[in-house]
Chains A and B, each alone.
Chain A
Amino acid sequence: MGIVGGDLSVMVFLPAVGALVVLLMARGMTGALLKTALAFTLLTFLWSLRLLWRFDPALAGMQLVERYGWIPGFGIEYHVGVDGISLFLVLLTTLLGPIVILASWTISERIKEYLFFMLVLETGMLGAFVALDLFLFYVFWEVMLVPMYFLIGVWGGPRRIYAALKFVLYTMAGSLLMLIAIIYLAARHYEVAQTLTFDLLRIYQLSLPYEEQWWLFWAFALSFAIKVPLFPLHTWLPDAHVEAPTAGSVILAAILLKMGTYGFLRFAIPLFPEATLAAAPAISALAVIGIIYGALVAMMQADLKKLVAYSSVSHLGFVVLGLFVLNLQGMEGALYQMLNHGLSTGALFLIVGMIYERRHTRMIEDFGGLWRQLPVFSACFLVVTLSSIGLPGLNGFVGEFLILLGVFKNSPWWAAAAATGVVLGAVYMLWMFRRVVFGPLSRPENQKLKDVDLREMAILAPILALIVFMGVYPKPFLARMKASVAQVVERLDSKREALPLVVEGRKETGSKADGN
């Protein structure tokens, strides 16, 4: 395809340029700093809309590809592009950019450094989603880590150091293995093809023996499973969420967790198809456990942020389950659910942040009866809650349904087990909502609270609009995802036929329905 232009690079590095600008500005100009950061993130978002314009839904492969030599000695390239898998994750990231800056308007401490890290973080995330060179991906992957560490560690709550370290050590432990696997892959490719490259598309062509795949798959999978997080590797998440500032929680939930699921879909699954087929039952089992376990633990939380954090464990369990049924419905549903979770959980953290700013507490018992005092806020909260519990007509249902549809095809019992998560989701979310928003407005501290202002409405309105739009009219999204996801599925199916032993149980149901 060659070089089409610099659209992606401009988008990826605009926030970094913004970070530099912020760095050069004087420390005291809080308002100007915020506005600069907002301008750069808004510009990035507007620029990213060009992708939507230029993206051809009919193509399965990479589009808007840019490719330059970077470290020629090692065959490392600057190689980026988008396909149906990454397109909307990129757009979700750029959409949330200005939103989290707006949500940070009330931060007074070290605002300059704060904005610097936020902007660097955005470049890191965007880069990781578009990178097509394994080394480049790894660099962006690590670039995300540092700002997040500081966001939690400096602007966080009372136990921020503990939470930040736990976050970094967990993620690092996983990514170390991934790095070794990446280097091993490049070396193996060199052995086979006599060219040194980290190019993902070329390494896709490598077909390794099952034994090797198995080790490499788990090295990648562990790294991604921690990020997702998959049960039982989830305990860093509640700590990180509780201590992180609002914007940090939003980014963490909406984007960083998706790095894990995106990683599975982009790297672990297509790179190691035979190992994927063999590992699918084990990972699906962990995902189902996560769905139920996360929901049950969320039910009992007294802290709103912890509740939302555990609900993420449950929802991401759905996503992973959808990915590892390895058919079109499940994977499309999983990809759609990544966006939904990004929107609705992101919005939940924003909402929790809004009442935290007013009351300086996140304990459910400190609230009650908010509807009377904050009707607009409560109505927004209601829509987001309903989106989170997958009410048909809102976005969450489309994803959940497609995932269940895909899962049911291969294993009805797992679909049944996962569907209990839908029931439990309603239990803990509505119970929380009732205690926070309904009931008598008895506490005097709550009786003077102000309803959402214009800035807060600007934060929530785009998310609410998308929650409704994506529930009613998912077609523009699914249509753009389809070709790329189908390609992954076809690749797996071809391996599945070559590997009758591993997948005997699902062969019968597998081949017929996936044909497009």
Chain B
Amino acid sequence: MENLILLRFIPLIPLFGAGLNIFFGSRWGRKNAGLLACAAVGLSFLLSLWVIAALPEAGSLKDTVFIWIESEPFRADFSFRADALTVVMLLVVTGVGLLIHIYSLGYMGHDEGMIRYFAYLNLFVFFMLVLVMADNLLLLFVGWEGVGLCSYLLIGFWHHDHTNTIAGNKAFVVNRIGDFGFLLGILLLFWAMGRHGVWTLDLWELKASAHVLSPEQALLITLLLFFGATGKSAQIPLYVWLPDAMQGPTPVSALIHAATMVTAGVYMTARLYFLFSMAPVTLAVIATVGALTAFFAATIALAQNDIKRVLAYSTVSQLGYMFLAVGVGAFGAAIFHLFTHAFFKACLFLGAGSVIHSLEGEQDIRNMGGLRSYLPTTYWTYLIAALAISGAPLTAGFFSKDLILWQAFAGTRGSMWLWFLAWLTAGLTAFYMFRQFFLVFHGPCRVKESARAHIHESPRVMTMPLVLLAFGAVFAGWVGAPEFLWGSRWDRWLEPVFGGAVEPAHGEPFQELFLMGLTLAVAAVGFVLAYLGYGRAGRALESLRPAPGLSLLANKYYVDEIYDFVFVRPLTRSAGWLAGSFDPKFIDAIVNGVADRVRGSSLFWRRLQSGNVQHYLFGFLAGTLLILAYYLSQ
């Protein structure tokens, strides 16, 4: 461990940018506010590169700013730390973040709330950087809830429409439910370690001494922490907020609800891999939840018609893959998929944003079609990203997804069932992505005549990030190729972090190749079905008729309605009863009843309640002194 004061500036510069824009933004105008925000994130990106260069071999860098909360034996510092895992996250947050900031210059250029938008966006980057750079669990929690705040603010960014702010509230509250578990997990961890004489929430100290915990303690702690992760990272049962979060501006969906914030849960479990590795039951739960979420969300994505909602369910599904990897103990693979996913999913969201932008707000893919000739750059980048998420050979998604599938099958904690669900999901993914792709870009143009004249490719400031992200969607995966190709630099990079935690999956290279072939085959089937259904000229329109069997999917399995019935309504009903009847008619009535009885029984008391408080006070003090005098004369 070495000290590097530079570290603190990585998060602080975006915070400073946000502050400047909040207080002075109106003075220098929208355009400069946007440029300032981009410059702040750009600087953080450059500093992050510096950190990579300065990172000692197999070590970490540390920067303690000050003691934050201290109440012996408890102590949590405001202190940052960077190791190999951190810098991966730094690259994603500041790198992809910078591209999305630049894209926003174009996308939000005409919005009157642009200054506020960039202030929130900078603030988000600050909290996200705190999250990934925190050296203790409580500071991580600051970032954790802070990004939730920014998510809340940005989902409801266009706050004059209640649909948006309701979605923002839902996101915050559902995340709070998860945080309830997270917080209890932190508390339990602290006292359980303390019982063994280790008083710390410092992640590195925890890593060194977590082995003192009993298996039961580790199980309970990790289950609670994982519950927190299901909120932030949108897993069953708390995924319901993410699709609604699409109400925010599209670059926000790309940054917060695809590339960075929603992956915080994956980061947290990877950061605490030493704890999770001690709890095999928790890992099994995580793998199951991950695989089920991946499959379940992919089925919903099949029947969605909103261009962003398809991507939202796709994100839920891909996060499921990451947790599947965590659950089988392949933490490096989880982070690898997090890394590649950031590129291709951000590219898809920004591409969708480009489409929405050119169609002046249209989001229904049934009203699109044939946009290929109008939006050539968007078309090609979208195609590349869609291929990447579908796992086409040699794209980023191909490497990271195959790694997860292989670990799910051959890893010591893997199983046939987990692999099978993930494999099926791979097919579904190719299908829903290309269903959307063909409906948007191919076939006849179904855009309204009036709007058709205005369709235009987005400005350079928006297409340039698309091109760079598409580049990443292909090449970001090459660092983690399987051994039979050119080998993985990724594993070597993360080796000092995860150490010997990951037992190598034992299987023949032949087996790995065979499974890879199976995955490619199922993805190809998905692609072909999508093409047959939506890609051929003349087929598109009739295939858009609502299929009767799909209404369950289109309605998202009615999960929102079920939650409403089981949780929300009983809660509001009982609260209503407490507020409307119990408190005023019972609790208060008892008190007033006592008062009334007293008043009725005595003229003296009635006079006392005449409202003249001096009488009362006088009597009171006189009485006091009398009692006192009596007592003392004894």
* A binding-site residues for B, Cβ under 8 Å: 74, 142, 145-146, 149-150, 153, 161, 164-165, 168-170, 172, 176, 179-180, 183, 187, 196, 232, 234-236, 293, 296-297, 299-301, 328-329, 332-333, 369, 371-372, 379, 386, 391-393, 397-398, 401-402, 404-405, 408-409, 412, 415-416, 419-420, 422-423, 426-427, 430-431, 434, 437-441, 472-475, 478-479, 482, 509, 512-513, 516
Using known A-B contacts A172-B616, A405-B74, determine if residue A153 contacts B611 with beta carbons closer than 8 Å: yes
A248–B214 alpha-carbon span in the complex (Å) = 54
Is there contact, CB below 8 Å, between A513 and B617? no
Using known A-B contacts A299-B572, A474-B69, A516-B72, determine if residue A434 contacts B188 with beta carbons closer than 8 Å: no
Is there contact, CB below 8 Å, between A371 and B71? no
A513–B22 alpha-carbon span in the complex (Å) = 44
Is there contact, CB below 8 Å, between A187 and B631? yes
Q: Closest Cβ of chain B: how far from A244's Cβ, in Å?
A: 15
Chain B contacts for A478, CB-based, 8 A: 69-71
Is there contact, CB below 8 Å, between B620 and A405? no
Question: Which of A153, A300, A431, A475 counts the most B-chain CB atoms under 10 A from its CB?
Answer: A300
Is there contact, CB below 8 Å, between A438 and B159? yes
Q: Closest Cβ of chain B: how far from A446's Cβ, in Å?
A: 13
Is there contact, CB below 8 Å, between A333 and B191? no
B578 touches which of A161, A300, A328 (Cβ 8 Å): A300
> Chain B residue with minimal CB distance to A196?
B632
Check B236 for interface membership: any CB of A closer than 8 A: no
Please name the 5 residue pairs, one residue from A and one from B, whose CB atoms are nearest each other, closest first: A300-B579, A235-B588, A392-B142, A296-B575, A408-B187
Q: Closest Cβ of chain B: how far from A226's Cβ, in Å?
A: 10
Chain A contacts for B574, CB-based, 8 A: 296
> Chain A residue with minimal CB distance to B73?
A513
If A176-B620, A422-B183, A438-B159 are given as contacts, then 4 extra A-B residue pairs at C-beta distance below 8 Å, sorted by A number, are A235-B588, A423-B179, A440-B160, A478-B71
Is there contact, CB below 8 Å, between A475 and B67? yes
6 contacts between A and B (CB under 8 A): A150-B613, A404-B183, A419-B184, A422-B180, A439-B162, A475-B69
Is there contact, CB below 8 Å, between A430 and B187? no
Chain A contacts for B165, CB-based, 8 A: 434, 438-439
Is there contact, CB below 8 Å, between B587 and A401? no
Check B190 for interface membership: any CB of A closer than 8 A: yes
Is there contact, CB below 8 Å, between B627 and A183? yes
A281–B152 alpha-carbon span in the complex (Å) = 38
Check B266 for interface membership: any CB of A closer than 8 A: no
Using known A-B contacts A169-B595, A187-B631, A393-B146, determine if residue A372 contacts B160 with beta carbons closer than 8 Å: yes
Is there contact, CB below 8 Å, between B160 and A475? no
Is there contact, CB below 8 Å, between B576 and A74? no
A472–B587 alpha-carbon span in the complex (Å) = 40
Is there contact, CB below 8 Å, between B173 and A427? yes
A438 touches which of B67, B160, B588 (Cβ 8 Å): B160
A416–B613 alpha-carbon span in the complex (Å) = 44
Chain A contacts for B187, CB-based, 8 A: 404-405, 408, 412, 415
Chain B contacts for A149, CB-based, 8 A: 613
> Chain B residue with minimal CB distance to A430?
B169
Query: 1/0 per residue B296-315: CB within 8 Å of A?
Result: 00000000000000000000
- Which residues of chain B from 57 to 89 have any CB-CB distance to chain A below 8 Å in the complex? 66-74, 78
A404–B191 alpha-carbon span in the complex (Å) = 12
Q: Closest Cβ of chain B: how far from A359's Cβ, in Å?
A: 19
Total CB contacts across the A-B interface at under 8 A: 176
Query: 1/0 per residue B124-166: CB within 8 Å of A?
Result: 0000000000000010011011100100100010011110011
Chain B contributes a number of interface residues (CB within 8 A of A) equal to 68
Is there contact, CB below 8 Å, between A392 and B160? no
> Chain A residue with minimal CB distance to B634?
A187
The secondary structure that dominates the B interface is: helix
A303–B180 alpha-carbon span in the complex (Å) = 28
Q: Closest Cβ of chain B: how far from A157's Cβ, in Å?
A: 16
Check B546 for interface membership: any CB of A closer than 8 A: no
A426 touches which of B176, B583, B631 (Cβ 8 Å): B176
Check B485 for interface membership: any CB of A closer than 8 A: no
A439–B152 alpha-carbon span in the complex (Å) = 15
Q: Closest Cβ of chain A: how far from B170's Cβ, in Å?
A: 10
Q: Closest Cβ of chain B: how far from A116's Cβ, in Å?
A: 15
Q: Closest Cβ of chain A: how far from B195's Cβ, in Å?
A: 8
Q: Closest Cβ of chain A: how far from B3's Cβ, in Å?
A: 21
Q: Closest Cβ of chain B: how far from A453's Cβ, in Å?
A: 17
Check B591 for interface membership: any CB of A closer than 8 A: yes
A473–B70 alpha-carbon span in the complex (Å) = 11
Q: Closest Cβ of chain B: how far from A69's Cβ, in Å?
A: 17
Is there contact, CB below 8 Å, between A235 and B587? yes
A127–B164 alpha-carbon span in the complex (Å) = 50
Is there contact, CB below 8 Å, between A474 and B68? yes
Using known A-B contacts A165-B609, A434-B169, A441-B160, determine if residue A416 contacts B69 with beta carbons closer than 8 Å: no
Chain A contacts for B152, CB-based, 8 A: 430
Check B551 for interface membership: any CB of A closer than 8 A: no
Is there contact, CB below 8 Å, between B176 and A422? yes
Check B208 for interface membership: any CB of A closer than 8 A: no
Chain B contacts for A234, CB-based, 8 A: 587
Question: Which of A150, A164, A168 counts the most B-chain CB atoms under 10 A from its CB?
Answer: A168
Is there contact, CB below 8 Å, between A473 and B613? no
A333–B611 alpha-carbon span in the complex (Å) = 40
Check B43 for interface membership: any CB of A closer than 8 A: no
> Chain A residue with minimal CB distance to B169?
A430
> Chain B residue with minimal CB distance to A428?
B575
A516–B188 alpha-carbon span in the complex (Å) = 21
Q: Closest Cβ of chain B: how far from A292's Cβ, in Å?
A: 10
Q: Closest Cβ of chain A: how far from B571's Cβ, in Å?
A: 8
Q: Closest Cβ of chain A: how far from B175's Cβ, in Å?
A: 9
A299–B579 alpha-carbon span in the complex (Å) = 8
Check B543 for interface membership: any CB of A closer than 8 A: no
Chain B contacts for A393, CB-based, 8 A: 142, 145-146
B579 touches which of A297, A386, A397, A415 (Cβ 8 Å): A297
Check B628 for interface membership: any CB of A closer than 8 A: yes
Q: Closest Cβ of chain A: how far from B533's Cβ, in Å?
A: 41
Is there contact, CB below 8 Å, between B66 and A475? yes
A472–B146 alpha-carbon span in the complex (Å) = 13
Is there contact, CB below 8 Å, between B583 and A391? no
Query: 1/0 per residue B598-634: CB within 8 Å of A?
Result: 0000000000010101101100110010011001100
Chain A contacts for B496, CB-based, 8 A: none
Query: 1/0 per residue B98-129: CB within 8 Å of A?
Result: 00000000000000000000000000000000
Chain B contacts for A404, CB-based, 8 A: 183, 187
Is there contact, CB below 8 Å, between B160 and A426? no
Is there contact, CB below 8 Å, between B578 and A371? no
> Chain B residue with minimal CB distance to A330?
B71
Is there contact, CB below 8 Å, between A168 and B616? yes
A393–B126 alpha-carbon span in the complex (Å) = 12
Q: Closest Cβ of chain A: how far from B460's Cβ, in Å?
A: 32
A409–B71 alpha-carbon span in the complex (Å) = 13
Chain A contacts for B191, CB-based, 8 A: 408-409, 509
> Chain B residue with minimal CB distance to A331?
B71
Chain A contacts for B156, CB-based, 8 A: 434, 438
A472–B571 alpha-carbon span in the complex (Å) = 34
Using known A-B contacts A176-B620, A405-B187, determine if residue A293 contacts B613 with beta carbons closer than 8 Å: no
Is there contact, CB below 8 Å, between A183 and B631? yes
Q: Closest Cβ of chain B: how far from A480's Cβ, in Å?
A: 12
Check B194 for interface membership: any CB of A closer than 8 A: yes
Query: 1/0 per residue B177-203: CB within 8 Å of A?
Result: 101100110011011001000000000
Question: Which of B70, B71, B180, B628 counts the most A-chain CB atoms under 10 A from its CB?
Answer: B71
A423 touches which of B69, B173, B588 (Cβ 8 Å): B173
Q: Closest Cβ of chain B: how far from A378's Cβ, in Å?
A: 9
Chain A contacts for B361, CB-based, 8 A: none
Chain A contacts for B331, CB-based, 8 A: none
Chain A contacts for B595, CB-based, 8 A: 169
Is there contact, CB below 8 Å, between A473 and B620? no
A437–B156 alpha-carbon span in the complex (Å) = 12
Chain B contacts for A475, CB-based, 8 A: 66-70
Chain A contacts for B549, CB-based, 8 A: none
Using known A-B contacts A333-B71, A423-B177, determine if residue A415 contacts B613 with beta carbons closer than 8 Å: no
